[in-house]
Amino acid sequence: MINILKDRFALYKNFEILNADVLKVDLQSLISKELVEFNLKQAKIVANLPYYITTPIIMKLLEDRLNLRNITVMVQKEVAIRLTEIPGFKETGAITYSIYYYTTPKLVLSVPKTSFIPIPEVDSAVIKLDLLEKPRVRVLNEKLFFNIIKISFMKKRKTLVNALESGKALQDKQNIIKMLENLGIDTKIRGEKLSIEEYAKIADYIESFTKESGD
């Protein structure tokens, strides 16, 4: 494939093939170099991602805080639906909150499996993620914020109270119930039903509680 692409684009001086593992490449340096060379303010990512490592690649692009305007990629359709869902709605997953934290996501088009030869087992979809200038919510501790979401979805069948108790998010169950009551959040709610703003409030509450208690 590499040799075919080299032959196909041999006359284009603005085309370069980098044969490397995207999860190991220093994308920050690579993008910065290209922006300077072509006198551009921001870069765009356009790709057909390997479906088995879709999430690690997208999260690397977002967490590395690269100078990007948007990311347009083709992924497995059921993953695309989860990535572009609004947090708290039907298809919400833990990854949904991460995507919504960094971007405004949009499902651009569906790509049926019959579009490919040979025909794969799954349908695909193209999604576009427009990067926000700053995260959608402000939190005191970003690592804690994402960890609380992760804990909530690891125990998805449980209520948020029981999930947070299992994850030792606060000292005991009564503290968790008190926290939700103080924040105006239903104590019987499940984690996938929360908005990103509610998770931000929970994370900030726990961060403040932890500092005050000296834990």
In this prediction the pTM is 0.90
The pLDDT of residue 215 is above 60: no
Which residues, 6 or more positions from 114, have their beta carbon under 8 angstroms from its beta carbon? Answer: none
Q: Which helix (H) or strand (E) holds 94?
A: helix 94-102
- Among the listed residues 103, 48, 111, 30, the one whose alpha carbon sits nearest the alpha carbon of residue 78: 111
**Domain limit, last residue, from 131, 151, 177:** 131
**pLDDT, mean of residues 61-86:** 96
Let me know: does 70 contact 133? Beta carbons within 8 Å.
no
Residue type, 70: N
Looking at residue 124, which CATH number applies to its domain? 3.40.50.150
Query: Distance between CA 68 and CA 117 in Å, rounded?
Result: 32
| pLDDT at site 214 | 62
Domain-located, residue 136: no
Q: What is the pLDDT of residues 21-52, one digit of tens each?
A: 999 999 999 999 999 988 999 999 999 999 99
With H, G, I as helix, E, B as strand and everything else as coil, classify residue 41: coil
Counted domains in the chain:
2
